[in-house]
């Protein structure tokens, strides 16, 4: 069970949120560990060969990523619901039960991934061991478990949202979370046709991370601005609606940028190119919005003669600002780099994608969810103004610096692949390994590993800070 200082004060919904956050943080650590294993294997291919092969380490790396973020997202909603609706979350008992079911299922899936790894080419494997589809490898039984858990979660959100005060943030979250849960169904079937397989697979992956998750981040950022700097709700919610329009307007049909080369018709070149090219715009808007609201609120306080900072949670706000910038840089700029088909023809399936994936998942999601962890620490400890500690500054610097370094390293590796393996050599097996043996590529992989170690060190400090800062006497109570 969660230890004493991780339990909520007053609200059961917030207590449940801390459970979700705790489990999410543990999975975040697991994600980094398996990422390190995979990074070592690029440098030393014999490392754990036929014990914990790259495919398994990488599968655990990306699945832990998805699951910790989903846990932290559920936690965030349970955290903000009482604040937004003004009532205690309905169905919290079921919510708590579902948490334990979800957590237990995840543990079983991870153990099977670790110790069974692969199965025979039959339906039993798909049902019990792995579905073998990147990001959603969880076996079919777990899929159904996830559907049940997600339905319970969405049910609680809807019941609470409809009974309590229905703010713009809650309305957006309700619509967004039902789409988020419903889209998972698109990834739960088997077909012999790999083009059809990948068509629907992208419905889950893309419409999650480039549509529903982004809107979720918009809603959380809106909540955070009201909560942390006292931004004006009407202004924040207007921005939120504009962001929803822009994110969904570009993101839904931006799905087309995954349909360039998987057997789908040529018209997707055009749809995917132009709609996804617009995807960075709302991310610019979010960045402007966060900084603008900060400056505006601070300015109006100073006009009244108050010189103190309007931020009541420095570490969380640091992560929120990093989110605004990281989302734009990682998802926006790095995504735009290779979203046009004439470029994507050569970058598709190279480390370029990997560079974008790392910075986007980190910048758009990890940052804001870590920010939510800090908001929960502040709330459960009854802190009025939470300050940065040495540890929180070290953690954010090491993790962010490491992530930027890793992204640069992977981008350079991607250039080598594009130029040598793709453009020059024509994408064959031999071309692939010629690219992989290039000096730029191998050095980039060394740097990636070093950056990974920095990030992991940062994570240890972050975990320490999250566990201890609540009792630190520097904060104003």
Partner 1 sequence: MFEPFTDVVPSFFGWLNQGPLTLTIFLHTVIILPMIWIYFQEKKRLENEN
Partner 2 sequence: MANKSVWSDNRFWKRTATWVTGFASILLIWLTFDTSTQIAMGNDQDLQNKVTKRVPGPTVINYKITYEMSPKRGHEVPIIGGNDGKGNSLFQEKEKFFGRDDYSEKEARALLHLGKLGSQAKNCMDCHTLLGNGAYYAPDLTKAWLDPAWGPNGAMQALTGKNTKEEAMAEFLQHPDQYPTHARMMPNLGITAKEAKGLVAFLKHMSSIDTNGFPRNFGKIKGAVHGK
Binding-residue pattern over the window 262 to 291 for partner 1, x denoting contact by CB under 8 A: ---xxx--xx-xxx----------------
50 binds partner 1 (CB under 8 A): no
Helix axes 168-183, 140-163, angle to 10 degrees: 160
Nearer to partner 2, 63 or 378 (CB): 63
User: Minimum CB separation from partner 2 for residue 244, in Å?
Assistant: 4
Q: How far is the CB of 442 from partner 1 (least distance, A)?
A: 38
- The nearer residue to partner 1, 275 or 362, going by C-beta atoms, is 275
**Residue count at the site for partner 2 (CB under 8 A)?**
88
195 is a site residue for partner 1 (CB under 8 A): no
CB nearer to partner 1: pick between 248 and 374: 248
Q: Between residue 353 and residue 382, which ones bind partner 2 under the rule CB under 8 A?
A: 353-354
Q: Is 132 in the site for partner 2 (CB under 8 A)?
A: yes
Question: What span, in angstroms and rounded, lies between the C-alpha atoms of 368 and 228?
Answer: 13
State the minimum distance, in angstroms, from the CB of residue 265 to partner 1: 5
Sequence-separated (6 or more) residues with CB below 8 Å from residue 228? 311, 312, 313, 316, 317, 320, 375
Q: Which residues pair with 386 in a beta bridge?
A: 313
**Smallest separation, CB 210 to partner 2 (Å):** 13
Which parts of 318-337 interact with partner 2 (CB under 8 A)?
none
Residue of 89, 102, 131, 367 that binds partner 2 (CB under 8 A): 131
At 393, list the tokens: 């500054």
23's contact among partner 1, partner 2, none, with CB below 5 to 8 A by partner kind, is none
- Specify the length of the chain in residues: 477
Rule CB under 8 A: which of 134-173 touch partner 2? 134, 137, 168
Distance in Å, CB of 65 to partner 2, minimum: 13
> Can you read off the two tokens belonging to residue 268?
């997707």
Instruction: Supply 291's token pair.
Output: 């900084």
Name which of residues 218 to 257 contact partner 1 (CB under 8 A): 249, 253
User: If phi over 0 gives left and psi between -120 and 50 gives alpha, with beta otherwise, what is residue 55?
Assistant: alpha
The stretch near partner 2 (CB under 8 A) out of 88-96, 254-262, 315-323, 387-395 is 254-262
Helix, strand, coil shares of the chain, percent, nearest 5, are 80, 0, 20
Report the interhelical angle of 314-326 vs 213-229 (nearest 10°).
150
What lies within 8 Å, CB to CB, of 226 at 6+ separation is 233, 236
Instruction: Tell me the closest approach of the beta carbon of residue 87 to partner 2, in angstroms.
Output: 23
**Contact status: 196 vs partner 1 (CB under 8 A):** no
Q: What is the DSSP string of 146-161?
A: HHHHHHHHHHHHHHHH
**Binding partner selected for residue 123 from partner 1, partner 2, none, CB under the kind-specific 5 to 8 Å limit:** partner 2
Q: How far is CA 30 from CA 316, 351, 447, 456, in A?
A: 22, 22, 21, 10
In the complex with partner 2, which residue's Cβ is closer, 149 or 449?
449
468 binds partner 2 (CB under 8 A): no
Span from 23-31, 56-64, 83-91, 386-394 in contact with partner 2 (CB under 8 A): 56-64
Q: Per residue in 92-113, is it b (16+ CB within 10 Å) or e — as a string?
A: beebbebbeebbebbeebbebb
Neighbours of 306 (CB within 10 A): 11
**Encoded tokens for 39:** 């990074």
Question: Which segments of 438-477 does DSSP mark as H helices, in order?
Answer: 439-468
Span near partner 2 by CB under 8 A; candidates 54-62, 146-154, 328-336, 460-468: 54-62
Nearer CB in complex with partner 2: 300/468 = 300
260 binds partner 1 (CB under 8 A): no
Residues of this chain, 58-97, that bind partner 2 according to CB under 8 A: 58-59
- Is the CB of 50 or the CB of 303 nearer to partner 2? 50
Asked if 123 interacts with partner 2 (CB under 8 A), we say yes
Report how far residue 157's alpha carbon sits from residue 172's, in angstroms, rounded to the nearest whole number.
Answer: 11
Partner whose footprint covers residue 273, from partner 1, partner 2, none (CB < 5 to 8 Å by kind): partner 1
CB of residue 105 to partner 1, shortest distance in Å: 40
Is residue 222 within 8 Å of 205, Cβ to Cβ? Answer: no
Helix, strand, or coil here: 118?
coil
In angstroms, the CA 81 to CA 76 distance is 8
> Cα 80–81–87 angle (5° rounding)?
130
Q: For residues 256-295, which are near partner 2 according to CB under 8 A?
A: 258-266, 268-269, 271
Q: How far is CA 365 from CA 220, 357, 387, in A?
A: 11, 11, 23
What's the gap between Cα 267 and its chain centre?
30
Q: How far is the CB of 29 from partner 2 (least distance, A)?
A: 21
274 binds, among partner 1, partner 2, none (CB under 5 to 8 A by kind): partner 1
Q: Which is nearer to partner 2, 115 or 473 (CB)?
A: 115
Note the residues at the interface with partner 1 (CB under 8 A): 249, 253, 265-267, 270-271, 273-275
């Amino acid at each position: 069970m969660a230890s004493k200082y991780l339990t909520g004060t007053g609200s059961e919904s917030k207590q449940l949120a801390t459970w979700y956050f705790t489990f999410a943080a543990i999975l975040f650590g697991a994600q980094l560990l398996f990422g390190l294993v995979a990074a070592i294997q690029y440098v030393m291919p014999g490392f754990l060969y036929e014990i914990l092969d790259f495919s398994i380490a990488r599968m655990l790396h990306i699945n832990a990523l998805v699951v910790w973020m989903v846990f932290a997202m559920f936690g965030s909603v349970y955290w903000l619901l009482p604040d937004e609706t003004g009532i205690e979350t309905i169905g919290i008992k079921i919510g708590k039960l579902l948490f334990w079911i979800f957590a237990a299922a995840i543990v079983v899936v991870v153990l099977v991934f670790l110790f069974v790894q692969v199965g025979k080419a039959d339906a039993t494997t798909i049902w019990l061991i792995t579905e073998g589809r990147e990001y959603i490898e969880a076996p079919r039984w777990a899929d159904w478990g996830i559907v049940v858990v997600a339905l319970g979660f969405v049910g609680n959100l809807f019941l609470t949202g409809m009974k309590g005060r229905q703010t713009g943030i809650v309305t957006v979250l309700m619509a967004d979370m039902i789409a988020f849960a419903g889209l998972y169904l698109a990834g739960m079937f088997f077909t012999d046709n790999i083009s059809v397989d990948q068509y629907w697979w992208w419905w889950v992956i893309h419409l999650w991370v480039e549509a529903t998750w982004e809107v979720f981040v918009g809603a959380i950022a809106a909540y955070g601005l009201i909560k942390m700097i006292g931004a004006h709700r009407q202004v924040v919610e207007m921005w939120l609606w504009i962001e929803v329009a822009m994110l969904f307007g570009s993101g839904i049909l931006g799905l087309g940028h995954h349909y360039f080369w998987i057997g789908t018709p040529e018209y997707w070149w055009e749809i995917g190119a132009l709609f996804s090219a617009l995807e960075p715009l709302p991310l610019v808007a979010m960045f402007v919005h966060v900084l603008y609201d900060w400056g505006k609120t601070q300015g109006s306080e100073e006009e009244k003669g108050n010189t103190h900072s309007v931020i009541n949670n420095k570490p969380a706000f640091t992560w929120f600002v990093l989110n605004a910038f990281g989302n734009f840089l990682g998802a926006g700029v790095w995504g735009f780099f290779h979203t046009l088909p004439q470029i994507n023809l050569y970058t598709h399936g190279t480390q370029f994608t990997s560079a974008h994936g790392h910075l986007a998942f980190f910048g758009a999601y990890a940052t804001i969810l870590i920010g939510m962890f800090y908001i929960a620490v502040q709330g459960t400890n009854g802190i009025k103004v939470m300050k940065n500690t040495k540890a929180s500054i070290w953690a954010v610097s090491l993790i962010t610096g490491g992530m930027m370094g890793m992204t640069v390293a992977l981008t350079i590796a991607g250039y080598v692949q594009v130029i040598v393996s793709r453009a020059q050599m024509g994408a064959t097996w031999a071309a692939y390994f010629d690219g992989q043996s290039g000096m730029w590529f191998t050095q980039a992989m060394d740097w990636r590993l070093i950056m990974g170690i920095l990030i992991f060190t940062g994570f240890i400090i972050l975990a320490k800070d999250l566990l201890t800062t609540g009792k630190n006497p520097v904060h104003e109570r």
